[in-house]
Amino acid sequence: MTITRALVRTAAVPLRRPYAVAHHHTDTAAMVLLQLHTDHGAMGLGAATPEPAVNGDTVAVAARELAAAAEALVGLRVGAPEHHAAVLARLPSPAARMALDMALHDLWAKALGLPLVEALGRAQQDLPTSVTLGLGSVAGTLAEAREHLAHGFTVLKVKVGEDLALDLERLAALRQHCGPGIALRADGNCGYRPAELLRFLRETVPLDLEFLEQPLPPEQVAAQRLLPAALRQRLMADESLHDERDAASLCAAPQPFGSANLKLAKCGGILAARRIAALAAQHHLPLMWGCMDESRIAIAAALHTALACGNTRWLDLDGHLELSEDFAVGGFTLAGGVLRLLDRPGLGLEPSGSVW
């Protein structure tokens, strides 16, 4: 199977429901999209949502790098994705690396006639995903929660980090409304100060939260190493984890977090994510696989990768749900809040939408 053509597109997709996180408001997902065609008629799909506020990446840069790199692969045989590691390493844009890496994995698994998760070595079956509630009032939080619960979700992730008193009120009201059968987790998006973190941890004990994601900015995380182990176990890394160097630092004792949120968009794709996941496993650090506001293409790739890692414990793969348009169908099903992969080769997707 030989790559014969590359097609790169960009899209700015309005969200059905704009949302707020600490210090940031989002109403549009700007994406780069890729098709790699072969002489056997197979197609590899890739997609990424560059995040300037996270790593300085932009759609313009990602699309330019992706087009050049993908075109350079025309005429080459499809092989194991590791064979193209050098090509990926030359791309400064994490989004460009992610989309190209994803399409190459898709083609490789299709050449093998296997779903990608099986080609990688399945370690897990299906898992529930959380769905995210943005910053807002108590009434707004409860209304949004009721909507998601009515659709069968059993795990809610609540954005916090701008107003500690309001955050605590929202979480307490949410636990009272949901009862003990619904899992709750919180995401601080670097919004708290150390003193606020201690108050949050103290006052949320009765609420039985699964964890609190990244409460402090990365430059303040060293302070968490001074906390008792039981408190550090309740914290999850997110903005502090981009690459293997970050992972090595977070794994060094005493670990500042008890778990980590691994995103293809931050590390630059499946190859890089699997290296980080292996390092985390060596240090007994469980993982949640997260996302940005992303196409079903990227969500499928993250899900295949997550279920091929033994230290995956949680999923937060809801980034496609509020897109006003998407660019593929298939890949997985979502029912009762649980994500299940389809038994189809590669990522199991077919392109759709106006952008192609």
Contact 41, 155 (CB under 8 A): no
Length of the chain in terms of residues written: 356
Residue 122 burial by CB count (10 A; 0-12/13-18/19+): exposed, middle or buried?
middle
Dihedral, 91, 94, 96, 100 alpha carbons, nearest 10: 90
Q: Consecutive sets of 10 residues in the chain, 356 residues long: mean pLDDT of each?
A: 96 83 76 96 97 87 94 92 90 96 98 98 97 95 97 97 97 97 97 96 97 97 95 97 96 97 97 98 98 97 98 97 96 97 98 90
Q: Do 217 and 198 share a structural domain?
A: yes
Residue with tokens 């899209």: 11
Residues 108 and 132 in one domain: no
* DSSP state for residue 76 in the 8-state scheme: P
Whole-number Å distance between alpha carbons of 83 and 291: 26
Q: What is the CATH number of the domain that holds 45?
A: 3.30.390.10
Q: Which position has the token pair 């994510």?
A: 273
The C-alpha atoms of residue 148 and residue 169 are separated, in whole angstroms, by: 20
Give dist(CA 254, CA 224) in Å, integer: 9
Residues 231, 311, single domain; the answer is: yes
What tokens were used for 206? 């009765």
Contact status, residue 158 vs residue 141, Cβ threshold 8 Å: yes
Q: Is the dihedral of CA 67, 72, 75, 78 positive or negative?
A: negative
Among 98, 113, 128, identify where a domain stops.
Answer: 113
Cβ-contact 321, 19 below 8 angstroms = no
Instruction: Determine contact, residues 152/145, Cβ cutoff 8 Å.
Output: no
Note the pLDDT of residue 16: 87
How many domains does one find in the chain?
A: 2
> Which helix H or strand E contains 261, and what residues bound it?
strand 259-262
**Residue 356 falls within a domain, yes or no?**
no
pTM of the model: 0.96
CB 314 within 8 A of CB 237: no
- The label of the residue with tokens 């009434």 reads 139
Same domain, yes or no: 131 and 217 = yes
Beta-strand ranges (E) seen in 274-326 are 287-289, 312-315
Range of the domain at 311: 119-351
**Residues 312 and 227 occupy one common structural domain:** yes
Output the pLDDT for position 23.
63
